Amino acid sequence: MFVLLPIKDNDLKIIVYKVNFLQIYFLFEIILDICGMDKFMQTAIAQALKSRSEGGIPIGSVLVKNEEIVAEGHNKRVQEKNPILHGEMDCLNNAGRIGNYRNTVIYSTLMPCYMCAGMIVQFKIPKVIVGESRTFPGARAFMESHGVEVIDLDLPECVRMMEEFIEECPELWNEDIGNSIEADS
């Protein structure tokens, strides 16, 4: 298996041969540290890579409160055959009951969809930081209309990760975003 980790607009490409997920994660973490990326987004990207390594959709999420990670999650729709287990949903599920979300920030490698945005609005999470929205515009306007601050980092790493996945698995991607091309029964 070859893994390609493109960093910052083709400045650096690393090919790793026959490695396991943890080795990829640690290598990725080192590279991201060098690039100075936010540690919380690093963790969200690691969660996205974990999902992909499990055969799932590469979207990861992290919930942060008072500059500490409360929970991590990734899209598990494929792995658990559960249509609502998007990255943000899995993350909040992993957080459990934390009282209120007033001082939290949720990170996601991709702009949240309307379902996940509804959860963010419902629990009054005040800030969302996303890796990218080029491959999927999501529900930014909806969140902002409900007072949520949305920051789109437009990270090339996140864009490439999604573009590669969409090219490799278009049917799965279309199913995930509700654009299934199958005839309705």
> Phi and psi of 14, rounded to 5°?
-125, 130
Active-site residue flag, 72? no
Read off the amino acid at residue 76. K
Read off the amino acid at residue 53. S
Distance CA 148, CA 105 (A): 10
**Residue 10 backbone zone (phi > 0: left; psi -120 to 50: alpha; other: beta):** left
List b or e across 106-127, with b for residues whose CB sees 16 or more CB atoms inside 10 angstroms: bbbbbbbbeebbebbbeeebeb
Dihedral of CA 46/119/140/152: which sign?
negative
Dihedral of CA 158/163/168/174: which sign?
positive
Catalytic residue among 88, 157, 167, 171: 88
Write the CA distances from 80 to 17, 47, 124, 128, 169, integer angstroms.
Answer: 28, 16, 27, 25, 18
What residues are labeled active site? 88
